[in-house]
Amino acid sequence: MLNLVASTRLTGGRLSLNGNDLAEGQGEDAEMLRALYTAVGLDYPKFHKMDMYARLALLASEPLYRMLRADGADIANAIGLITLNRSGSAATDVEHWEPVRRGETASPAVFVYTLPNTGAGEITIRHGAFGSSICLVSERPDCDLLLTIADDMITTQGMTHVIVGWSDIFAAPFANGPSTTLFAGFALIGHGAGTPLTPTGLQAILTQH
């Protein structure tokens, strides 16, 4: 039986933990994420070298890792991570491609973020998390599947908890699709203490309402 230990959401410039606002940031995406970085008291200079997507995933998951650290959890070995998104690295892909399209030189610092799993990479680096992780890309979270994967990480792969997080950023200027969106929702789940978690409950955390 999987239980929800805690959850975070980052939407509309607010970062919340278990439904309670932790911090608020104003302005455009970059400005807002920087304000949240300051508001939650992060001191991690690498943050400013990351692309927006990695910053979003790192910020939204931060309160859950802090909670785990405070509880003495074995973050190095026993915390699984499933990261999810729809747009992959699309916004950064466009940033990489624009100068190349114009015949200019690509930026290596931008290119290394043109993958959907960079958020997971930055989270595992920041927290020294060596355990199981996977990055899935889908139109919307398949929460029944996600709970199956998380349960298997705990049951057979030696994880005590799994963090499941959706974070998505989509830059619209070159697209016909939806306008710019920025949203993240993360759930910390485990077999121990917590409230029973159903796919519907997970869906509510991982999707923008």
Candidate segments 29-37, 59-67, 88-96, 184-192, binder of other proteins by CB under 8 A = 88-96
| Residue 92 within binding range of other proteins, rule CB under 8 A | no
In this structure, are residues 160 and 79 in contact, taking their beta carbons and an 8 Å threshold?
Answer: yes
Among 25, 63, 88, 201, binds other proteins (CB under 8 A): 88
Q: What is the CA radius of gyration of the chain?
A: 17
Nearer to other proteins, 15 or 147 (CB): 147
Q: What SS3 class is residue 142?
A: coil
| Residue 44 within binding range of other proteins, rule CB under 8 A | no
Among 128, 193, 195, 200, binds other proteins (CB under 8 A): 128
- Give the amino acid at 136: L
Q: What SS3 class is residue 146?
A: helix
* Cα separation values, 11 from 3, 21, 75, 80, 151, Å: 24, 11, 26, 24, 27
Point out which residues bind other proteins (CB under 8 A).
Answer: 76, 86-88, 90, 93-94, 96-97, 100-101, 105-108, 111-118, 120-122, 124-125, 127-139, 142, 145, 148-149, 151-152, 156-158, 171, 174-177
